[in-house]
Each structure stands twice: as structure tokens, then as C-alpha cells.
């Protein structure tokens, strides 16, 4: 059994991961370590603090006990605000501490788009506009064109974690654009792992969510990604190799 360790900031949708682990009935282990949070705010200064190397290092020390085969910094906004190079530096710092491959949710979004040959996307962001634009720039730097972006101005991760499936589906449908090859839902604070297939059915195209791409990338760091039910086209045969 492979183990993808997750460093997750604070409390909002971290229960998405053990729920998925239970549904997959022993296929993979997804141990979660909660990293410290200064202020729960989707604001650039707070996010730069959230993703500080010291916070990740503390989490990595705790996660070592789970003996992960790979580790993901399961935070989109706390990685993309650092830019591509900064996000890679975050991952390499944790990798040096634990001696296993490491990536982050923001980097996973770019890699997942490449795996599905997705060039143009629409973004359904829970964040305020200015924070969401950091994600747009991150994607653009990775060769992904954003043709439409809906931002919903939700300040705290805690509030995002309370959104019900109907609200998430509505956000994704509202963000869709005829020119978009896929819809990206970038917040790991949003519960999505149980509704990926529902989201894709609602728009008729691939939907990449933060917690979904986080698990996918963690598995890809270890080897070929298994085809897993209920997790959308990314986990179908087409999306399991990048």
C-alpha cells in the first residue's frame, strides 16, 4: 500500500482525505498533518505567512512518523502566492527534510492540465479577486490559458469548508465558458472529493479540484497513478500518466 502524506493548513476540508481513504478501502493511505495558521484569511500577506518554510518544516517533522512515500503541501493559495519558483522551493524544502518526493496543489494543477492535454481553462475560485489573480498568473506561467474566472470573495477557509455540494456545483456551472477545455476549482478548503463526477456531469467536461489534483499528484510522484472510481477523468485511463 502506498502512502501519500498531506500537509494541510488549519481546519476546513481536511476530512475529505480520510473519507476518500475509507471509500478506497485500503488502496492508498492519506495521513494528514495539520500545519499551523497565523490568520485564516484569503489575503496575500496572510497566505505568505501560511506557507512559510518554518510552518512546513514543523509539519514535515510530525508527518515523518507516518513514513510517507511522497508528500503534498495540500494548499493552493499558500503555494501559488509564492509564484512557480517559490512553490518549487516550498516542495524542495520539505523533500530535503523527509527524503521523499514532494509537490504542492498549485504545481499539481499545472501538471494535471498537462496530463489531460488541457490548454485553456475556466476557474471557479472561492477567493477574493486579487488572490484569484495570483492563481491565474501561476497557471499562465505554467502554459495554461485562463479564458474565464469567477471569484466569490470568500475570505476564510473555514467558511469555504461549509459550502454544500449544491453550492459548489452552482459555482462550477457559473464559471464554465465555451472556450474552456476544463474547469479548475482551486481551493483545498472546499469539500469536493465526493462530487467530482457530479461536477463533471454538470458541465460535460473535465473538472479539476484542489483536493483531487493533490491526491493525483501525490500518487504520480510514486509511480503510475491507478484508475480510481468517482474521481473524474483525471483518474481515468487518460489522466493517469503525465
Is 54 in a helix, a strand, or coil? helix
CATH code of the domain in which 187 resides? 3.40.50.12500
pLDDT tens per residue, range 86-122 = 999 999 999 999 999 999 999 999 999 999 999 999 9
Count the Cβ atoms, other than its own, within 10 Å of residue 141. Answer: 13
Measured distance CA(183)–CA(165) in Å, rounded: 16
Are 204 and 215 members of one domain? no
Q: Are residues 183 and 121 in the same domain?
A: yes
State pLDDT tens for residues 46-65: 999 989 999 999 999 999 99
* Residue 72 lies inside a defined structural domain of this protein: yes
Are the CB atoms for 139 and 146 separated by under 8 Å?
yes
Residues 151 and 97 in one domain: no
In a domain, residue 232? The reply is no
- The residues pairing with 71 across neighbouring beta strands, listed in sequence order, are 5, 102
Average pLDDT, the chain: 92
Say whether both 100 and 120 belong to one domain: no
How far is Cα 216 from Cα 146, in angstroms, rounded to an integer? 22
Q: State whether 97 and 160 are in the same domain.
A: no
Q: How many CA atoms lie within 13 A of 239 on its CB side?
A: 26
Same-domain check for residues 123 and 193 = yes
pTM here? 0.94
Q: Find the length of the chain.
A: 242
Quick one: pLDDT at residue 237? 60
Q: Are residues 77 and 96 in the same domain?
A: yes
Question: Do 42 and 24 sit in the same domain of this protein?
Answer: yes
Residue 149: closest CA among 115, 181, 172, 118: 172
Contact 68, 3 (CB under 8 A): yes
Question: For the chain, what is the domain count?
Answer: 2
Tell me the residue range of the domain where 186 lies: 108-208
Both 204 and 221 in a single domain?
Answer: no
Amino acid at each position: 500500500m502506498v502512502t501519500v502524506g498531506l500537509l494541510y493548513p488549519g481546519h476546513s476540508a481536511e476530512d475529505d482525505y480520510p473519507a476518500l481513504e475509507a471509500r478506497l478501502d485500503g488502496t492508498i493511505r492519506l495521513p494528514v498533518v495539520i500545519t499551523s495558521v497565523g490568520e485564516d484569511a484569503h489575503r496575500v500577506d496572510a497566505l505568505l505567512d501560511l506557507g512559510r518554510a518554518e510552518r512546513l518544516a514543523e509539519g514535515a517533522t510530525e508527518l515523518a512518523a507516518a513514513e510517507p512515500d511522497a508528500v503534498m503541501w495540500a494548499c493552493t493559495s499558500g503555494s501559488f502566492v509564492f509564484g512557480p519558483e517559490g512553490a518549487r522551493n516550498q516542495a524542495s524544502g520539505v523533500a530535503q527534510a523527509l527524503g521523499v518526493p514532494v509537490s504542492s496543489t498549485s504545481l499539481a494543477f499545472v501538471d494535471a492540465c498537462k496530463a489531460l492535454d488541457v490548454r485553456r481553462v475556466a476557474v471557479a475560485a472561492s477567493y477574493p479577486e486579487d488572490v484569484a489573480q495570483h492563481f491565474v498568473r501561476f497557471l499562465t506561467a505554467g502554459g495554461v490559458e485562463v479564458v474565464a474566472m469567477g471569484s466569490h470573495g470568500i475570505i476564510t477557509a473555514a467558511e469555504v469548508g461549509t459550502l454544500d455540494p449544491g453550492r459548489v456545483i452552482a459555482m462550477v456551472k457559473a464559471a464554465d465558458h465555451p472556450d474552456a477545455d476544463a474547469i479548475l476549482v482551486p481551493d483545498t478548503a472546499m469539500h469536493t472529493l465526493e462530487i467530482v463526477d457530479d461536477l463533471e456531469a454538470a458541465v460535460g467536461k473535465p473538472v479539476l479540484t484542489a483536493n483531487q489534483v493533490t491526491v493525483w499528484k501525490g500518487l504520480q510522484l510514486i509511480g503510475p497513478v491507478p484508475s480510481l472510481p468517482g474521481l473524474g477523468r483525471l483518474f481515468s485511463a487518460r489522466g493517469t500518466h503525465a
